[in-house]
Structure 1
Amino acid sequence: MTETFEFATEAVHRGETTSEQQYLSADVVSPIHLATHHEMEAPGELKNGYKYSRFGNPTRDALESRLAHLTGGSEAIAFNSGTAAITTAALALCDPGDHFIAFDGVYGGTRLLLEDLFRDVLDVEVEYVDARSPETVEEHVREDTALFWMESPTNPLLKLCDIAELAGVADAHEVPLCVDNTFATPYLQQPLELGADVVVHSTTKYLNGHSDSTGGAVATNDPAIAERVSTLQEYVFGNALSPFDAYLVLRGMKTLPLRMEQHEANAQAIAGFLADHSKVEEVHYPGLESHPQHDLAGQQMDGFGGIVSFELEASEAETRAFIEELEVFTVAVSLGGVESLVDHPWTMSASFISPEERRAAGVSDSLVRMPVGIEDKTDLIQDVEQSLSRM
């Protein structure tokens, strides 16, 4: 395949002709290679580049080729969950006793991982800072700082960090910068091009896009980092993405540009409607001019994404009642599928961290997170409107 095409072309074609077996059968799409092991030419001599599924699989290789190209990386590694990708990437970049700097707005599941594994087991000191200010991050850098862990936008409050500025801080102190780009997707934001060393995705979300596959990915332009991540995956954790899930993500990514355009258009319409509603206290969406980092979003992103979160002028019980009255929006955790979902972070996606930690992270019991799908925006707005009217 030619060195590079535009994003939408890469999303459809990249990786589809990586397998020797595929050349023989002329499949238009990558087949699902379920074999756990492969015949060898002779003892110690590979026949077609594959030996055992933990070390490589043709379907997963096709996906990793596409992930690398779409994220702007030289290499990508696919995992069986987003959490597995986060864990392996962070372990590849730190040693016991090191110091981490993490965005204070990181997803609650990531915070739980950093504390329960890295802090409590590995004695890594995890310090949460307001990374909306690169200066604040730099003030907390120490000699033993081993990693900057960022999300942009964050889950669920959609805070941003200036990735290029943070990359400059990271380079000055020789600290790797890792960015979880799940909310923005590579279609809307390219952290590696902005200077990050590692980018992480939950492929469960927008990359797959159909709510039927769990997975994760790590991409980088640093061969040494890629080798450490791959070694941990292959020889320590064995947490590679399955062939069937790799096939599902390959299929889903073909329509990523189309879906993201519709997700964003619908989210922008709903955010505008909510911003003018008397029962809504505050709307968190980078596409609104009222968002404190709207200008930054315009600079480092090619769009504002499909997630809207907002605070209701309501009690917890009233907030739950609003969610339960919705008809088109499905009450469920996760995000990024074609269907519109609604989440009450206080009792759902952030419920596994303590109430004190939720409040400290800005998650209130009247916060609602809406991963907006690709349905007709008129139906979505009418659904929100009818439910608000019953409050």
Structure 2
Amino acid sequence: MATSADKKQEVGEGETLGLATLACHAGSDPRRWTSRDVIPPISMATTFLLDDPSDRSGFLYTRVGNPTRRSLEECLAAVEGARYAFCFSSGLAALLNTTYLLRAHDHIVCSADVYGGTYRFLKNCAARMALDTTNVDCTDVGKFQKAFLPNTKMVWLETVSNPTMKVLDLKALVSVSRQRAPHAIIIVDNTFLTPYLHKPLECGVDVVMHSLTKYINGHSDVLMGSLALNDPKLADELRKLQNYMGAVPSPFDCFLTNRGLRTLEVRMLRHGDSALQVARALESNPRVERVLHPGLPSHPQHKLAIELLTKGFCGVFSCYVNGTAQQTKDFMNNVKIFALAFSLGGHESLIELPREMTHSAMTEEERQAIGITDTLVRISIGLEDPRDLIRDLEQALLLAIPNPKD
């Protein structure tokens, strides 16, 4: 764990700095190291020298704390606008740690259309811990309000849902949560948007979660998750859980993620701009039935999206193919630049079929209820030339669906 309390002294006391500046410098003061490295060195040590048995002034054991991890955690806290940040070995490990803030028979309110891994964990693992979850369409504030029970202790949301790209009125949901369950912990998975596009803590939530595997690392070579927050008591609990449960990332992975974080802003600008270009092209293609991108006027929450996301949109969107289930698979198999693969947010463009991949653990009834059909495709736009990506998708669609439906 790290606090961002001392980072201002490193990058300019009392200054208001932009995200790009904080990403480049927070937690990385060369004066910390005797070698004066301008980037944080990789500390592979598992244990550290003490002055005496009661010495707790520095690092003790790398599960408890590590210099390279501390640098990353301080930088994450800075860019998120948080006082504290904690890194874990995966996004799901971060989710697991949050459930240990609860007690048996507590209740969780969760978005109906969340990341498939979140759904699987809450249904198959949290349930074994006697934690009950209600999944609800959070675009309907009335339904959201009715989902609360007397024992609701946690609310789990995604500002932009995965994979149906629904946009939530986060401030309204926070207001309802505080009224219905004043002591419930409100957590937002901000993986899709990153702190460059959206800072949920400013909307009043308690904890922001990230799969750092995705945009923040940005190169598809690290598995890691994080939690960021401001409440000192909650931070103390998470600090203990991080230590007691031991699901911490390696120093080398922390180094790689810190390196990826340096370029977050410029990458998000390119991801977002390219994705909107590709989405517009697909929306005009007769072989695509519908495109789900919050930046398009056709999106049901477009007005809310442009009010909430003033800096733009991420590189992920979804679409319904205007064809059969088999033609949808043929389309995905025909792409040349895109990789048919899980995940998102890397420099390379990916394509996936949620029904059979990320959300296969849901029942068919559950998938249909939230719009995950056998023709829904999720697309993650990388850093390639968007003109090449458009041509690739168009040729793949043409091969798969020579005669589209009217």
Normalised by the length of structure 1, the TM-score is 0.96
SS class of match (1:78): strand
Residue from 370, 375, 380 that aligns with 2:389: 380
How many positions carry a matched residue from both structures? 385
Q: 2:100 & 2:334 partners in 1: Cα distance?
A: 43
Amino acid at match of 2:23: A
Distance 1:310-1:239 versus aligned 2 partners, 3 A rule: same
What is the aligned partner in structure 2 of residue 286 from structure 1? 294
Structure 1 position 15 matched with structure 2 position 27: yes
Residue from 225, 228, 236 that aligns with 1:219: 228
What is the aligned partner in structure 1 of residue 59 from structure 2? 50
Q: 2:292 & 2:76 partners in 1: Cα distance?
A: 29
Residue from 263, 266, 277 that aligns with 1:258: 266
Kindly indicate whether the alpha-carbon contact (under 8 Å) linking 1:264 and 1:306 is maintained by their aligned counterparts in 2: yes
Q: 1:225 & 1:132 partners in 2: Cα distance?
A: 28
104-113 or 168-177, larger mean C-alpha shift: 168-177
Distance 1:19-1:136 versus aligned 2 partners, 3 A rule: farther
Cα offsets for 1:196-236 (capped at 9, x unmatched): 1111000000000000000000001111111111211101x
Residue from 24, 29, 35 that aligns with 1:25: 35
What is the aligned partner in structure 1 of residue 3 from structure 2? none
Kindly indicate whether the alpha-carbon contact (under 8 Å) linking 1:17 and 1:62 is maintained by their aligned counterparts in 2: no
Structure 1 position 5 matched with structure 2 position 2: no
Normalised by the length of structure 2, the TM-score is 0.92
Cα offsets for 1:37-67 (capped at 9, x unmatched): 00001111146x1000011000000000011
SS class of match (1:179): strand
Q: 1:160 & 1:57 partners in 2: Cα distance?
A: 37
Q: How does 1:289-304 map to 2 (within 5 A)?
A: 289-301=297-309, 302-304=311-313
Q: 2:55 & 2:30 partners in 1: Cα distance?
A: 20
SS class of match (1:193): helix
RMSD: 1.3
Cα deviation, residue 318, structure 1: 0.7
What is the aligned partner in structure 2 of residue 158 from structure 1? 165
Amino acid at match of 2:26: R
Amino acid at match of 1:176: I
Q: 1:230 & 1:240 partners in 2: Cα distance?
A: 11
What is the aligned partner in structure 2 of residue 85 from structure 1? 94
Q: How does 1:308-387 map to 2 (within 5 A)?
A: 308-387=317-396
Q: How does 1:170-319 map to 2 (within 5 A)?
A: 170-172=177-179, 173-174=181-182, 175-235=184-244, 237-301=245-309, 302-319=311-328
Q: How does 1:109-128 map to 2 (within 5 A)?
A: 109-119=117-127, 121-128=128-135
What is the aligned partner in structure 1 of residue 141 from structure 2? 134
Q: Where in structure 1 are there 5+ consecutive unaligned residues? A: none
Structure 1 position 61 matched with structure 2 position 73: no
Q: 2:335 & 2:157 partners in 1: Cα distance?
A: 33
Structure 1 position 75 matched with structure 2 position 87: no
Cα offsets for 1:128-187 (capped at 9, x unmatched): 111012332122222211111101211111112111111112222312211000001110
Amino acid at match of 1:137: F
SS class of match (1:201): strand
Amino acid at match of 2:225: G
Amino acid at match of 1:356: E
SS class of match (1:212): coil
SS class of match (1:59): helix
Kindly indicate whether the alpha-carbon contact (under 8 Å) linking 2:212 and 2:225 is maintained by their aligned counterparts in 1: yes
